[in-house]
Amino acid sequence: MKNRYILQLLICGVMMYYAIPRLDVYASGPEGVFAISWVAFALLVLSGSLIGLLYTPKQESQPRKVIQRPVRMNKKKSLRSYS
């Protein structure tokens, strides 16, 4: 499970390393809107992968042993016996 998050972080980091110098964020029109939205979505993917990596529950190395208890037959016990 953690391998998937690490792979996502690496791929997203490589894409951002390649794309951010080539995107013109200060451009006007559709080019600037595309650049800003692309960087925003890339940061969302990066933060989501990082949160998933940091907050995954720890797996126990040894499986828990389930103790089987014998099944008892319920007998009616009288609390007070008047004889």
pLDDT at 78 over 80: no
Q: How confident is the model at residue 38 (pLDDT cuts 50, 70, 90)?
A: very high
- Model pLDDT for residues 2-35, shown as the tens digit of each residue: 889 999 999 999 999 999 999 998 999 999 999 9
**CA 82/CA 13 separation, integer angstroms:** 81
Model pTM greater than 0.85? no
Share of the chain above pLDDT 70, in %: 80
Question: pLDDT band at residue 73, thresholds of 50, 70 and 90?
Answer: low
The answer to whether 36 touches 28, Cβ cutoff 8 Å, is no
